A and B are shown apart, each in its own frame.
Chain A
Amino acid sequence: MVIEDALPRFEGDLRRGAIVLAAMSQLATAQYGYSLRQRLAEHGMEVEEGTLYPLLRRLENQGLLSSEWRIEDGPPRRYYRMSDEGRRLYPQLVTSWRNLSAVMENLFKEGHPYDL
C-alpha cells in the first residue's frame, strides 16, 4: 500500500525538526550520546542512534552545543551540553514550537471533515 509506505517517510519528516528541540531540552546538563538517547526514550521520544549521534555533532558545529571528553565509570565519553548560544536560542525555539503546535491544533479542529 502506498499509504503504508508513505507513513514512515512523512513521520520521519515531521520528527526531524522535533528531534533537535527534544535533544536540546535534555542538554541543560551534560549528557553523553547513549545517556541522552535513554532519557529521550524514557519520555517517549525514541530516536535511532544513527540519527541522534551525528546530530549532536552537527549541533555542536553550528554552535548550539559544546562538548568535552570525560572519563568516569567506563570508557572515555564525549559529553554534550547547551552552549551559551544554544541557551539563548532554546527559549525562542520552544516558543516557536508552542505557537506552531497551537496553530496546528486549530487547523486540525477546523479543517478535517472526518473523525480523528
Chain B
Amino acid sequence: SGEVLRPVGVSLAKAALYQPRADKSWTCLDGSRSIPFTQINDDYCDCPDGSDEPGTSACAQGKFHCLNKGHQPIDIPSSQVQDGICDCCDGSDESQLVACPNTCQELGAAAAVQRRNEAELFKKGAERRQELITRGKQMRAERESRRLELDQRLKEQELLRTEKEQLKQNAEAFETEAIDAFKEQHRELDTDTAKAEEEPKEMRKEASLSFIEYDTNTDGFVEVTELMVDMVLDKDRNGVVTKEEARYFLDERDRVDIDAFITLSWPRIKPLKMLAEGLFQPPTPEDSTGDAAQQTEATPEKINPTSPHLNDEQADLAGDDDIEADEEGDEDQYDDEEPDVGVGEATPDVEDAKPPVYDPETQRLIQQANEARNALEEVERSIREIEHEVKEIDEQNGKDYGPNEEWAVLDGQCYTFEDREYVYTLCPFDRTSQKSRSGGAETTLGRWEQWIGQPKKYSQQKYANGAACWNGPSRSAIINIKCSLEPKITAVSEPNRCEYYFEFETPAACDSEAFQAETDNLHDEL
C-alpha cells in the first residue's frame, strides 16, 4: 500500500489531495492560493497553512507525516524536519547525510510486547477488581440496611427520651422540694450550708476586684491586650501571653463586660491564679472520687500545662507549621469532654464543699432524681451514638467509590512509601500525610477532596487543605492511579512547593473493558 505516489511528508490518507491539475497547478489545502505543482516541497513556504511544504521545514505551521512502517505513524511539527535529529523511527524526517537508523521494527516489537503485558496485567487485575466490586457493593448494601435499622432505632430512642425526660422532671421536682424543705429546717444549724451559699457571692466579689485590676484603661471592659500583660495567664508557659491565650479567657471574644467577666472569665482565670499562688493542685485520678471526679475530668486539660493539647499548641508556637496537630488536639478534647460540663463549674470551691447530710427521705428523693437523670443521660448517649453512626454512613454514601463501588474497599486502608527523607502515607478517601524519617510530627498533605482525572475521572484523586506551608498555600496532593495486582505507592514527588504527586497502583484501576476499548481505538488508527 506504500506505493501510492505522494510528496514526502504526506500521509497515505492525504495522498489524494496532492495531485496536480491539468495545468500543473495546485491549490493550497486551505484554498487560499494556487501555486505551480512544482512548488510543493521546494523548500519555500507559499501556503499560509503550510500545506505546500509537508516534507520540509519551510512552513511554520507545517506537519510532517512519518509512516514508521512496523510501528506507529506519527505527525511531527515541521520545525523538527531536517534539523539533524532523528524524530521518526523510520528516519524519514532527516536527509541521508544524518543517516538515521530505522528502528521501527524494534520499537514496534517492543510496543507490541508492552501492549501484551499490559493486556495481561489488566486481565489478571480485572479478576481482583471484580472481587473489589463484589465487596464494595456488599458494603453499600450493608450500609443501607444498617442505615434503615438505625433510623428505626433512632425513632425508638427519641420516644424513650421524651418519656425519660418527663420522669426526670418529675423526680427533680420532688427532689427540689425536699431539699428546699431540708435547707429551711437546717438554715440556722448548718453553718457549712450558709458558707456554701456565701460562695457565689464571694466569687462575685473576687471576680469584680479582679475585673477592676485588669481593666487598666477603666473603660468598663476587659480587653485582650489587658490580659496579655498578666504572665499568670501564660497557659503554655512559653514566656508570652498570646492573643489566642488571652482570648480563651475572654470566652473567645475581644472584650467582656463585668457580668461576662464574672460568669465566663473568672472561672477560667481563677484556677491559674490559685495555681500561681500555690493554693491549688489539679486533682490526680487517685484523688478523684465520685461526682466531683467526673465533673473535673475535663478541666485539668485546660489548665495543666503539660497536657497533650497544650503540647500541640506549644509545638505550633515553636514554629511547627503543622496546624493539623492542633486541630486534632481540639477534636480529641471535645470527644472527651462531657457536653454539659461547663468549665466554670469546675472551680475548686465546688470540689472542696462538703455535701450536707440529708435526712433519709430527702436522700431517697435525691437518689431517685439521680437515677432519672442517669436514665435520661443513657438514652441521650445512645441517640448520640446512633446519630454519629448515621453521619458516618452518610459520609461514606456521599463519597464517590466509582460506578461499581470498586474503590469502596480502599476507604479505611492506608498505604505507605518511604524515600530518603520521608515516610508518606496515603489513606484513600481520607487523607495523605508525610513524616520525616528522622522523627517529628506528621504533616497532613491533604484531606480527601474528589476525583479529578481528565479525561478518565477515576485515574486521579485530589487531596486538599493540608497543613499550611510557610509563606505559602496549604499543602495538597494529587494521586495518579494505575492498574496493578497489588496496591502500592510507587513514587512521591513535590514538583511544586507543597504540591505533592503520588503514583499509586491498585487492582481497582484494572478496568479491562476500558483498556480494551482504548487499544482497539489505537488499532483503528493503525
Asked if A pairs with B, the answer is no
Q: Which residues of A contact B (CB under 8 A)?
A: none
